[in-house]
């Protein structure tokens, strides 16, 4: 199923950074937490209307999301809790960034942007929720037109070039389309159930 970006970064890019992190005894969970703190810092900048700086920090914090998983695999620290912690903190990071924008726009009575932020957040959460529910059923869903990587890039770049409204429209529409796409994939991959006989 079509996705906008590849879902893995070439190892020639991540390996040198992961090697340095491992030598410094940085743990994957610590890296995840650092990414959340970075997103919180970005939210504070965006809430004050400092879009260029906020967008740069959004992208930097998002890059840590790529590295924490690579670090866990490289150091043999892949755990079930780590996977859950990473997933939850990703949602916290997204919510924080969007809240920063919401704070900025509600102070300016910008109804359109506020509605778009709500739609973008709802779509983003649904994308992850449908994947989680699919995995519970034994149906892995990694495909997606607009997954976290794309969302981070769009909001980060949109802030940097002062085109936040356009970025929010893209997020709101494509995140919800991706949720529908994943729901369709779950339906397609779900084994056909035998009809239940009623007495």
Show which residues are catalytic: 90
Exposure string over 70-105, b if 16+ CB within 10 A, otherwise e: bbbebeeeeeeebeebbeebbeebbbbbbbbbbebb
* Among candidate residues 2, 62, 56, 54, the one with its CA nearest the CA of residue 31: 62
Q: Which two tokens stand for residue 99?
A: 């809240």
HSE value, Cβ hemisphere, 13 Å, CA-based, for 87 = 12
Contact indicator for 70, 18 with CB cutoff of 8 Å = yes
């Amino acid at each position: 199923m079509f996705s906008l970006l590849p879902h893995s970064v070439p190892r020639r890019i991540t390996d040198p950074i992961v090697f340095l992190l491992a030598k410094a005894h940085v743990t994957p969970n610590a890296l995840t937490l650092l990414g959340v703190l970075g997103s919180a810092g970005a939210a504070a900048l965006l809430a004050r209307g400092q879009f260029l700086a906020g967008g740069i920090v959004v992208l930097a914090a998002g890059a840590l999301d790529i590295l924490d998983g690579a670090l866990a695999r490289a150091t043999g620290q892949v755990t079930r809790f780590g996977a859950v912690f990473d997933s939850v903190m990703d949602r916290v990071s997204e919510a924080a960034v969007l809240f920063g924008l919401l704070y900025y726009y509600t102070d300016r009575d910008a109804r359109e942007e506020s509605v778009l932020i709500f739609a973008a957040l709802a779509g983003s959460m649904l994308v992850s929720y449908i994947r989680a529910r699919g995995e519970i059923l034994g149906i892995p869903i990694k495909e997606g037109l607009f997954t976290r990587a794309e969302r981070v890039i769009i909001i980060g770049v949109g802030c940097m070039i002062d085109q936040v409204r356009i970025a929010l429209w893209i997020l709101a529409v494509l995140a919800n389309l991706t949720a529908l796409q994943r729901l369709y994939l779950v339906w397609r991959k779900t084994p056909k159930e035998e009809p239940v006989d009623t007495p």
